[in-house]
A = this chain, B = another copy of it.
Amino acid sequence: MIQLAIIGTGNVAFHLAKAFSTAKNVLLSQVLGRNTEALRAFEPFAPVSTNLKSIANADVILIAVSDNAIGTIANDLQDTEALVVHTSGSTSIEELSNLKRYGVFYPLQTFSKTIDLEYSKIPFCIEAKLQADLKLLESLATTLNASYFYVNSEKRAALHLAAVFGNNFGNHILTEAEKLCNQNEVPFQLLKPLMQETVKKAFSIGPEAAQTGPAKRGDHITIKKQKASLDNPELQQLYTSLTEAILKHYER
Protein backbone atom coordinates (compact mmCIF):
# COMPACT_ATOMS: atom_id res chain seq x y z
CA MET A 1 0.00 0.00 0.00
CA ILE A 2 1.53 3.31 -1.15
CA GLN A 3 0.67 6.33 1.00
CA LEU A 4 0.30 9.39 -1.19
CA ALA A 5 -0.07 13.12 -0.52
CA ILE A 6 -0.90 15.59 -3.28
CA ILE A 7 0.02 19.28 -3.24
CA GLY A 8 -1.99 21.48 -5.60
CA THR A 9 -5.59 22.29 -6.48
CA GLY A 10 -5.53 22.66 -10.27
CA ASN A 11 -6.88 20.35 -12.95
CA VAL A 12 -4.01 17.85 -12.81
CA ALA A 13 -4.22 17.68 -8.99
CA PHE A 14 -7.99 17.25 -9.19
CA HIS A 15 -7.95 14.38 -11.66
CA LEU A 16 -5.06 12.56 -10.00
CA ALA A 17 -6.64 12.95 -6.54
CA LYS A 18 -9.95 11.66 -7.87
CA ALA A 19 -8.31 8.67 -9.56
CA PHE A 20 -6.01 7.74 -6.66
CA SER A 21 -8.82 8.07 -4.11
CA THR A 22 -10.54 5.01 -5.58
CA ALA A 23 -7.46 3.10 -6.80
CA LYS A 24 -6.35 -0.12 -5.12
CA ASN A 25 -2.97 -0.46 -3.38
CA VAL A 26 -2.72 3.27 -2.81
CA LEU A 27 -4.02 5.46 0.01
CA LEU A 28 -4.51 9.13 -0.72
CA SER A 29 -3.73 10.41 2.76
CA GLN A 30 -3.97 14.17 2.17
CA VAL A 31 -4.45 16.96 -0.36
CA LEU A 32 -2.73 20.27 0.39
CA GLY A 33 -3.11 23.70 -1.17
CA ARG A 34 -3.09 27.40 -0.37
CA ASN A 35 -6.65 28.04 -1.48
CA THR A 36 -9.32 26.94 1.04
CA GLU A 37 -12.05 27.44 -1.53
CA ALA A 38 -10.33 25.29 -4.16
CA LEU A 39 -9.57 22.58 -1.58
CA ARG A 40 -13.31 22.00 -1.02
CA ALA A 41 -13.57 20.14 -4.31
CA PHE A 42 -11.02 17.66 -2.92
CA GLU A 43 -12.89 16.84 0.29
CA PRO A 44 -14.63 13.80 -1.24
CA PHE A 45 -11.23 12.31 -2.02
CA ALA A 46 -9.10 12.85 1.12
CA PRO A 47 -8.51 15.05 4.19
CA VAL A 48 -7.42 18.51 3.04
CA SER A 49 -5.09 21.09 4.56
CA THR A 50 -3.65 24.51 3.79
CA ASN A 51 -0.62 23.94 6.00
CA LEU A 52 2.35 22.37 4.21
CA LYS A 53 4.09 21.87 7.59
CA SER A 54 1.27 19.55 8.65
CA ILE A 55 1.91 17.11 5.82
CA ALA A 56 0.90 13.59 6.82
CA ASN A 57 3.07 10.53 6.65
CA ALA A 58 3.49 9.68 3.00
CA ASP A 59 5.65 7.45 0.82
CA VAL A 60 5.20 9.78 -2.13
CA ILE A 61 4.44 13.51 -2.19
CA LEU A 62 3.14 14.61 -5.58
CA ILE A 63 3.51 18.31 -6.45
CA ALA A 64 0.90 19.27 -9.06
CA VAL A 65 1.18 23.06 -9.18
CA SER A 66 2.14 25.62 -11.83
CA ASP A 67 5.72 25.27 -13.07
CA ASN A 68 7.06 28.42 -11.42
CA ALA A 69 5.77 27.40 -7.94
CA ILE A 70 7.51 24.01 -7.85
CA GLY A 71 10.83 25.35 -6.52
CA THR A 72 9.23 27.24 -3.64
CA ILE A 73 7.26 24.20 -2.52
CA ALA A 74 10.35 22.00 -2.78
CA ASN A 75 12.09 24.38 -0.36
CA ASP A 76 9.31 23.87 2.17
CA LEU A 77 9.70 20.08 1.91
CA GLN A 78 13.44 19.88 2.59
CA ASP A 79 13.08 17.79 5.74
CA THR A 80 10.84 15.07 4.33
CA GLU A 81 11.99 11.47 3.96
CA ALA A 82 9.31 10.83 1.36
CA LEU A 83 9.85 10.64 -2.40
CA VAL A 84 8.84 14.04 -3.83
CA VAL A 85 7.79 14.22 -7.50
CA HIS A 86 6.46 16.96 -9.72
CA THR A 87 4.02 16.49 -12.63
CA SER A 88 5.39 19.08 -15.04
CA GLY A 89 6.34 18.34 -18.64
CA SER A 90 8.82 21.15 -19.11
CA THR A 91 10.44 21.36 -15.66
CA SER A 92 13.75 19.57 -15.04
CA ILE A 93 14.02 16.95 -12.30
CA GLU A 94 16.84 19.14 -10.91
CA GLU A 95 14.27 21.69 -9.73
CA LEU A 96 13.84 19.26 -6.79
CA SER A 97 17.55 18.52 -6.25
CA ASN A 98 17.66 20.05 -2.76
CA LEU A 99 15.53 17.12 -1.55
CA LYS A 100 16.71 13.68 -0.40
CA ARG A 101 14.59 11.66 -2.82
CA TYR A 102 13.02 13.20 -5.89
CA GLY A 103 11.59 12.46 -9.31
CA VAL A 104 9.00 13.25 -11.96
CA PHE A 105 5.56 11.74 -12.60
CA TYR A 106 4.33 13.49 -15.76
CA PRO A 107 1.00 12.46 -17.31
CA LEU A 108 1.16 13.17 -21.05
CA GLN A 109 -2.46 14.26 -21.34
CA THR A 110 -4.72 17.31 -21.38
CA PHE A 111 -6.81 17.85 -18.26
CA SER A 112 -10.07 19.77 -17.94
CA LYS A 113 -11.98 19.76 -14.69
CA THR A 114 -15.27 18.68 -16.28
CA ILE A 115 -13.97 15.88 -18.49
CA ASP A 116 -13.33 12.41 -17.06
CA LEU A 117 -10.30 10.49 -18.27
CA GLU A 118 -9.45 6.86 -18.90
CA TYR A 119 -6.23 6.44 -16.97
CA SER A 120 -5.33 3.20 -18.70
CA LYS A 121 -4.79 5.33 -21.81
CA ILE A 122 -2.52 7.94 -20.22
CA PRO A 123 1.22 7.41 -20.62
CA PHE A 124 3.10 8.55 -17.51
CA CYS A 125 6.65 9.74 -18.12
CA ILE A 126 8.61 8.83 -15.00
CA GLU A 127 12.07 9.77 -13.78
CA ALA A 128 13.74 9.43 -10.38
CA LYS A 129 17.11 10.23 -8.84
CA LEU A 130 17.28 6.80 -7.16
CA GLN A 131 16.64 3.47 -8.90
CA ALA A 132 14.44 2.21 -6.04
CA ASP A 133 12.23 5.28 -6.35
CA LEU A 134 11.74 4.61 -10.06
CA LYS A 135 10.22 1.28 -9.04
CA LEU A 136 7.95 3.08 -6.59
CA LEU A 137 6.74 5.36 -9.41
CA GLU A 138 6.11 2.33 -11.61
CA SER A 139 3.94 0.89 -8.85
CA LEU A 140 2.12 4.20 -8.50
CA ALA A 141 1.30 4.33 -12.24
CA THR A 142 0.21 0.70 -12.08
CA THR A 143 -2.36 1.45 -9.36
CA LEU A 144 -4.17 3.55 -12.05
CA ASN A 145 -3.76 0.79 -14.69
CA ALA A 146 -1.76 3.40 -16.58
CA SER A 147 1.26 2.77 -18.77
CA TYR A 148 4.61 4.33 -17.87
CA PHE A 149 7.82 5.17 -19.70
CA TYR A 150 11.30 6.13 -18.51
CA VAL A 151 11.89 9.61 -19.91
CA ASN A 152 14.69 11.92 -18.78
CA SER A 153 14.15 15.66 -18.35
CA GLU A 154 15.56 16.64 -21.74
CA LYS A 155 13.43 14.15 -23.67
CA ARG A 156 10.41 15.02 -21.54
CA ALA A 157 10.76 18.70 -22.50
CA ALA A 158 10.79 17.65 -26.17
CA LEU A 159 7.68 15.49 -25.67
CA HIS A 160 5.98 18.36 -23.88
CA LEU A 161 6.77 20.67 -26.78
CA ALA A 162 5.47 18.10 -29.27
CA ALA A 163 2.32 17.99 -27.11
CA VAL A 164 2.05 21.79 -27.37
CA PHE A 165 2.11 21.42 -31.16
CA GLY A 166 -0.41 18.59 -31.25
CA ASN A 167 -2.80 19.70 -28.54
CA ASN A 168 -2.49 23.49 -28.14
CA PHE A 169 -1.91 24.27 -31.81
CA GLY A 170 -4.16 21.50 -33.13
CA ASN A 171 -6.96 22.68 -30.86
CA HIS A 172 -6.55 26.30 -31.93
CA ILE A 173 -6.88 25.27 -35.57
CA LEU A 174 -10.16 23.62 -34.61
CA THR A 175 -11.19 26.89 -32.94
CA GLU A 176 -10.68 28.67 -36.26
CA ALA A 177 -12.45 25.85 -38.13
CA GLU A 178 -15.40 26.23 -35.76
CA LYS A 179 -15.45 29.99 -36.42
CA LEU A 180 -15.57 29.28 -40.14
CA CYS A 181 -18.47 26.86 -39.63
CA ASN A 182 -20.37 29.35 -37.48
CA GLN A 183 -19.89 32.17 -39.98
CA ASN A 184 -21.36 29.96 -42.69
CA GLU A 185 -24.04 28.38 -40.50
CA VAL A 186 -22.87 24.80 -40.89
CA PRO A 187 -22.57 22.51 -37.85
CA PHE A 188 -18.98 22.17 -36.58
CA GLN A 189 -19.94 18.70 -35.27
CA LEU A 190 -19.94 17.41 -38.87
CA LEU A 191 -16.13 17.55 -38.69
CA LYS A 192 -15.88 15.13 -35.77
CA PRO A 193 -15.54 11.87 -37.76
CA LEU A 194 -12.95 13.55 -40.00
CA MET A 195 -10.87 14.63 -37.02
CA GLN A 196 -11.09 11.20 -35.38
CA GLU A 197 -9.90 9.67 -38.65
CA THR A 198 -7.14 12.30 -38.93
CA VAL A 199 -5.68 11.20 -35.59
CA LYS A 200 -6.17 7.51 -36.35
CA LYS A 201 -4.34 7.79 -39.68
CA ALA A 202 -1.51 9.95 -38.34
CA PHE A 203 -0.69 7.30 -35.74
CA SER A 204 -1.13 4.30 -38.04
CA ILE A 205 0.56 5.24 -41.33
CA GLY A 206 2.33 8.34 -39.94
CA PRO A 207 1.36 11.99 -40.50
CA GLU A 208 3.67 12.49 -43.47
CA ALA A 209 2.11 9.58 -45.40
CA ALA A 210 -1.35 10.76 -44.30
CA GLN A 211 -0.96 14.31 -45.60
CA THR A 212 -3.46 15.31 -48.29
CA GLY A 213 -4.93 18.55 -49.60
CA PRO A 214 -4.14 21.40 -51.98
CA ALA A 215 -0.87 22.47 -50.31
CA LYS A 216 0.47 18.90 -50.32
CA ARG A 217 -0.44 18.60 -54.03
CA GLY A 218 1.01 22.04 -54.77
CA ASP A 219 -2.39 23.00 -56.21
CA HIS A 220 -1.95 26.79 -56.33
CA ILE A 221 -5.29 27.37 -58.10
CA THR A 222 -7.28 25.89 -55.22
CA ILE A 223 -5.04 27.61 -52.65
CA LYS A 224 -5.70 31.00 -54.27
CA LYS A 225 -9.46 30.32 -54.40
CA GLN A 226 -9.62 29.17 -50.77
CA LYS A 227 -7.56 32.10 -49.53
CA ALA A 228 -9.78 34.58 -51.38
CA SER A 229 -12.89 33.05 -49.81
CA LEU A 230 -11.65 33.89 -46.28
CA ASP A 231 -12.78 37.37 -45.27
CA ASN A 232 -11.55 37.07 -41.69
CA PRO A 233 -7.94 38.34 -41.48
CA GLU A 234 -6.98 35.92 -38.67
CA LEU A 235 -8.26 32.92 -40.60
CA GLN A 236 -6.49 34.18 -43.70
CA GLN A 237 -3.20 34.63 -41.83
CA LEU A 238 -3.40 31.14 -40.34
CA TYR A 239 -4.34 29.68 -43.73
CA THR A 240 -1.29 31.34 -45.31
CA SER A 241 1.19 30.32 -42.59
CA LEU A 242 0.14 26.68 -42.60
CA THR A 243 -0.18 26.42 -46.36
CA GLU A 244 3.34 27.84 -46.77
CA ALA A 245 4.66 25.44 -44.12
CA ILE A 246 3.19 22.47 -46.03
CA LEU A 247 4.36 23.75 -49.45
CA LYS A 248 7.88 24.21 -48.07
CA HIS A 249 7.91 20.83 -46.33
CA TYR A 250 6.97 18.88 -49.45
CA GLU A 251 9.03 20.83 -51.99
CA ARG A 252 12.21 19.34 -50.50
Q: Is the CB of B181 within 8 A of A212?
A: no
Copies in the complex: 2
CB < 8 Å neighbour of A167 from B122, B163, B198, B225: B198
Within the assembled complex, what's the spacing in Å between the Cα atoms of A184 and B162?
10
Of A20-28, A30-38, A54-62, A237-245, the one contacting chain B is A237-245
**In this complex, what residue of B is CB-closest to A158?**
B184
Chain A residues touching B, majority SS: helix
Q: Is the CB of A164 within 8 A of B123?
A: no
Known contacts A180-B158, A206-B178; A169 and B242 CB within 8 A of each other: yes
CB < 8 Å neighbour of A173 from B158, B169, B178, B234: B169
Q: Is the CB of A159 within 8 A of B242?
A: no
Known contacts A110-B201, A123-B190; A170 and B174 CB within 8 A of each other: yes
Instruction: Give 25 pairs: A residue, B residue, CB < 8 Å, sorted on A.
Output: A68-B221, A108-B193, A155-B184, A157-B229, A158-B180, A159-B181, A159-B186, A159-B190, A159-B191, A162-B181, A163-B191, A165-B176, A165-B242, A166-B173, A167-B213, A169-B173, A170-B174, A170-B195, A171-B212, A172-B245, A172-B249, A191-B203, A192-B199, A234-B249, A238-B242
